[in-house]
Chain A
């Protein structure tokens, strides 16, 4: 069908919304509550447009097109209405942009600029609320909340956690955890999807920048950074590169210039995770269970299982997540190697994730010292780079330090959903066939952005049924099957965030499907261009086993690289 959009005739599918058509035609309509891939709520009204012969303005995000419809998205009436909406939002919003962490990247602030809001037109009582800083991963400032509901929808619909929801009504409305408790006392999994989807500064990560700067400024400390697979395809966006640009070399040199003494690659321990996890899987298959084995790299997912399916904790791989493995090795293997006391080593993980902040302070992850001392997100690293006065674009490309800096393409794809499974299959093939690599290393059933991907692979005489799940709403059916004892799978990868780490809660805001796609493509590009693409071919990992750990699954490996889990209350 045809519609007229700002005087131009354009084609539209029946049932499509005005917003969709406009975006396709390159007409920008501002939105606050709208989320692609979710049904529209039309609650913020900022996307309001004028339809000829209609009485009132309509929200374009929820308004379907019809034949010969005439729409104006930028008429004086529309602009006036949008400006009023912004002014009303601002009237109930703290005016402390100078101190807000989202300043410069805030969707509300951007709109006030676009619509020329220069005065505080409506003044009156503002909603007052306390800041909630008790969670180890996420901070909430309800006063800054504009009630768009994006956090609530992602938490309920995409993650099926439902830690937060709207409470009260009218002027007293706010978004709060259940029973208006603090976020750390409700079964929140700290995934940070709410943070990455928040248009303003109401939800932010708990910052670790201060302690990291202090450690860097302390000359007695050896401050070590490790960089997660998904950072190198997202950090550039904070400095205006194309979405998903690969900036590995610049990330390393930026960390060195900030003052980190060593820069290692979490991809190294991703390779190590594969060796340990594949060994554990072989062991379980021989022993007859418990299968399916569930991956344990995603701390949000681990916490979800602890809260909601504690009876399935035995299915969870005992492997620590890669950055915890790396931390444990830095304070043992590496400390010994370079002759530094582990108390002098300060490990900072640069992660695309807020749940890693919570994970780092789990008491069982560490011996005498915690494996990881601080976790900063992609966004925090970008802030530190700016604070250090570094021109990101002029940075040279540098490589990671040795020996915990070598990695293969298999480690790199941990950043994308399905990557852990693909990497595991490459190494499982090597083990099960007694030492031959797969002919074609690309395992396409595990690639793509679907929530659940399943496949059957025959390696030698063994047939493995595997699945990769991302976004926790997709995992429930699989877990219920395991509970009922009818799960057909041997091995299931689960990532808490939809799309995996590239779309993690610590990544540049706002999260969009386009960014997710580009970052995922870049992750596979890194794998494609790697000289080695099998975890078991990582020479530094091999060296680690001969020099220190013994063999995969050894006692020493168990001490350092494996962990246990705790049952937590559902509420």
Chain B
């Protein structure tokens, strides 16, 4: 990542980044075409929805992805990674979203960004593990669904030279595919960030039953998990998480943008082929115009996504604004095209077999993840308008002039 404080005119998306993105698109469209995805995750609803089994994923494909070095995309070269810019990573994650790839890639990239923000020896060793193919996920969300760094889900106590963690971290993404978790805990008046192996003593992962078929999610119950000094990533977790936050929002936004563009193109193709009243339904403006509106919304989200990634790459302090704008736009664009995709397909889109619901549900999950559009705009208003005044007399009273 560069230190120059300006965003380059191509968002830092040069030939190398385009090549990586195109390679990812080729590989995923060959290895995970729609019929293969449907067979993999949506053969039938009963195993996941009735029997509570976790959604399957392609571990063979994952080992190929690890061999390609994707876990180390956000890891520095010194630690064995490929140190790709966030702009370049966003391009790859868009392809991951487009193909609705079930994998621990995005949670692992998120953990990488948090570890990079933490820096230091412990973080460096964990990043090296990730570059070597280890997987990770963040355990930073509490029972109230708060993403605030100060609302750490766990309590830490110092006991005999080690930290002991208690509490429940909720909404841990792809926890059952992760080798270790990065967990945040309150320690007195401070916050600590710890690495905890998913098979650690005192840690129990309880699967959430979720609608999305392309991931797993868990509640992580910490019942006296001991963390040695060698696993304490940071003793200023709130600052680290705040620094990493824009990047986390960019990753989810990229996933949303990719899946949304896929839903748009799928629906456009259907509207060209499906004939009613002797014409392809795409002829009718009640079908044509909402597809255009969806395109406009997706383009807005994509432009903001690249802008946010480029600002983060350039080390710009206010990148949080761009990232929250990107997440808001991407969440809303995803909600709109997901809705129109099912509706404009008509009855066939409503069937399990057709498979539109796979991207629909992945979007629905990602819309909520780290805050939907309304949440992002609430945070943006605090940044751009200022906090809501507590005194009724703030501001200029027009009647007084």
The answer to whether A binds B is no
By a beta-carbon cutoff of 8 Å, the part of chain B in contact with chain A is none
By a beta-carbon cutoff of 8 Å, the part of chain A in contact with chain B is none
